[in-house]
């Protein structure tokens, strides 16, 4: 089905904006940050910058904690941006909205990015960040027994792969994985499906991002393509949110089916009428706001 009229008007206006020339990596990072900076930053009870121990040095992070006198559940969040773009500050509006929608704490964790640092740097950092949050939960006012991982797009790939690495019983094993329009099969860049509303999207740059991220790594390795995990049993419960008009939707749906068949509890949130990237648009149209509310409600149910 197509998009609702309000959201369709938003997308047409968005796609009508002229593309910036000369998109080197640094230019693309600034453009991506400027796009996210348009969103308001709603108030959250506690917002605290952190520095975590990473395998190659300190990692930036930011804690978002709702008001509570008791330790609260938390999700360690890895931002999207095709592995190369995005950072903790640019995703601040997104994580504030998710915190308010879910009523749980979120720890937005930075990670090393390609082309400077290809695979497995980002995944190693994601695993280290999750372990660090679990080890420091009491000091941060978090419940160490209710800590999960989350991410959108490339960050969803990192969250799923980190959940796989940390599945063995232990204090850092996530109790939940929240994957929002995740990239789960990096063997190829899937084609964009025909658009029901005739929208024409600019080139995604996904092939360039994959080359920079993998730099010769086998894309069929489960740490790269979590959809290919040979034995999904023992993975944490999952909330998987898709976008109807997203080229990544089929692989997210296949992943949800594989987890379900393996006995892993799955909540699938279908982003009807939505596009890849909707987390950043909840302040501008009703449908993205509804999807963020749905994700927040599912997280609240899972962690409470």
Active site residues: 153, 246, 276
- DSSP assigned state of 149: E
Q: Quick one: CA dihedral 26, 31, 36, 38, positive or negative? A: positive
Do 75 and 106 form a contact (C-beta atoms < 8 A)?
yes
Angstrom distance (rounded) from CA 288 to CA 266: 21
Q: Quick one: CA dihedral 298, 51, 127, 147, positive or negative? A: negative
Angstrom distance (rounded) from CA 163 to CA 226: 9
State the angle between helix axes of 121-135 and 154-165 in degrees (0 to 180), rounded to the nearest 10.
60
Question: Residue 274 to residues 128, 190, 243, 260, 288: CA-CA distances in angstroms?
Answer: 33, 18, 5, 24, 7
Query: Which tokens go with 153?
Result: 């797009």
DSSP secondary structure letters along 80-137: -STTTS--TTTTHHHHHHHHHHHSSEEEEE----TTTS-TTHHHHHHHHHHHHHHHTH
Do 39 and 288 form a contact (C-beta atoms < 8 A)?
no
Angstrom distance (rounded) from CA 104 to CA 114: 31
Do 151 and 180 form a contact (C-beta atoms < 8 A)?
yes
């Amino acid at each position: 089905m197509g998009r609702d009229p309000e959201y369709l008007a938003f997308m047409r206006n968005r796609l009508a904006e002229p593309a910036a020339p000369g998109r080197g990596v640094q230019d693309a990072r600034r453009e991506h940050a400027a796009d996210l900076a348009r969103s308001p930053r709603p108030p959250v009870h506690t917002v605290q910058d952190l520095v975590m121990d990473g395998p190659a040095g300190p990692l930036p992070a930011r804690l978002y904690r709702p008001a509570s006198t008791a330790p609260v559940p938390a999700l360690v969040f890895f931002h999207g941006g095709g592995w190369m773009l995005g950072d903790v500050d640019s995703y601040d509006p997104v994580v504030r909205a998710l915190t308010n929608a879910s009523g749980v704490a979120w720890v937005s964790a930075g990670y090393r990015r390609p082309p400077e640092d290809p695979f497995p740097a980002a995944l190693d950092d994601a695993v280290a960040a999750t372990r660090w949050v679990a080890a420091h939960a009491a000091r941060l006012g978090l419940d160490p027994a209710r800590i999960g991982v989350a991410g959108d797009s490339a960050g969803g790939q990192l969250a799923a792969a980190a959940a796989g690495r940390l599945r063995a019983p232990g204090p850092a094993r996530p109790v939940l994985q929240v994957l929002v329009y995740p990239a789960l099969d990096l063997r190829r860049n899937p084609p964009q499906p025909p658009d029901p509303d005739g929208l024409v999207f600019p080139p995604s740059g996904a092939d360039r991002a994959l080359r920079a991220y993998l730099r010769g790594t086998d894309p069929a390795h489960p740490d790269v393509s979590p959809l290919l995990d040979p034995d999904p049993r023992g993975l944490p419960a999952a909330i998987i949110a898709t976008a109807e008009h997203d080229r990544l939707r089929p692989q997210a749906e296949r992943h949800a089916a594989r987890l379900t068949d393996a006995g892993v509890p799955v909540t699938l949130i279908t982003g009807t009428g939505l596009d890849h990237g909707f987390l950043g648009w909840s302040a501008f149209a009703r449908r993205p706001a509804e999807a963020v509310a749905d994700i927040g409600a599912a997280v609240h149910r899972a962690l409470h």
